[in-house]
Structure 1
């Protein structure tokens, strides 16, 4: 099943000298420039009644544009009846509170059973939206809030907002070591040169900025609130490991937990059995991609992190007389 697209417009005089794909992306902001470029190359665009298939062709202003194209549904993935915790929904977007052990998008090792498969089942029409409306991801074992677009127009605007850093995402994490103050990690990230499942700080990588502040200090751990400016793969996990405060439970970047002196069996069991990175996307704020209204959602930290924090508090209270902060 495909969605027919029929668009008409006139190039504005102010667009004189622009590339055709750039001008059309401005005239039709519901569609990405890369999608429009594909339509141009596929002979789907006419300028003054003539097919033009060169995206870099310059415009003069006043040209009559007609686009006749189709949006094909993505049939690579199968719809699956998987429960989703939806905290907000309207005609254009939905916000999901993702649990642990749920992959966002099919990939190597996870061909199905993902949020994308669940979206295709719940909203069949979302198959015509790129990546079924998924515009950003959370790691498999990271919990919390993520926004999904239900329409092409919403998807285009959300992607643009992410690129312009206009979507605010805040996380809570528990890291190893006691941190005394907040700060910012501004270090580029790239795929690890030898460990292909890992990311790493690398001078020639993509820019990555993570802000963090201390919420609570424990004897040998710290609870943090973090805000992303960029959204690189594993960004928080890589940045915290880079400053030698890896996330509790992080199998890729954390290393083995180092027990503090005199720790109780309960403390050790809790730390040993916490088998995911202690990271939760707790707040999401954005301007609605269609209405422009500012919206904000919060998701309380899940039970496993609550239990971890409670045990860390008990340990800190027990040894408070020995602390030098």
Structure 2
């Protein structure tokens, strides 16, 4: 059953009415409601198109966090073949908020690393809601170094509210682990491509996304802080999250204009959660195209392109 967001309540009423009519017809075969139900379906499609045509930044944040949106594990299972998970940081533990391993993308060997939020209460707790601890970033560093050693492109899938801020994580060097992971991204002599599939939160996202090419799903978000966190700091009121979301310029459309990302991957009408298979297929196509851009480039060229990209970041927005 579809979980509706706050701004989708009018839509839920129309779609609910159509389903009620069809349920009535199923219980009584003499009742013919298909014409009326079809009219409601068309009305719902029109409403959905209108709603998603002009989403506000805060509404996009809600869509990016939708519980039914496909997560890293879903993309890995459907886009890649011969997935072989690799675990542990060889130092402290295995962080289940970070998935990583070897796989093939259209027959090409790659290293895949991503944040996994989980899909129900048990898995969300197990995955720590996608918030990585230091061992998660150290696992990612280990896998990036392995990919570099064997000449494998690295693909990262970003979906995290941010790095875990708990006491244990801080004791084990959270900020140092994030910095080292970001540094490793810049050092890689193989192509590194990233897609923000949901939330890209702060340094926890940058540590995987300091890439040659960065894409975002159409209704995903990428920001230095969450709208609620920003509102709490600036206005001392988390309820000002709508204003904060507007000011943060966290949407894919804003970030493409600013030159922070390189492309936007279109989502099905109503968001990735309404047609998971189509959304996942679109990301797969985008990843193949992104990797193809760097075919034949040597390590020095790839590092130079990455360095120039991040040193020049923001100049596009300043010029405008």
Normalising by structure 1, what TM-score? 0.25
Give TM-score, length-normalised by structure 2: 0.25
| Larger helix proportion of the pair | 2
Higher relative contact order (CA 8 A, sep 6+): 2
Structure showing greater radius of gyration is 1
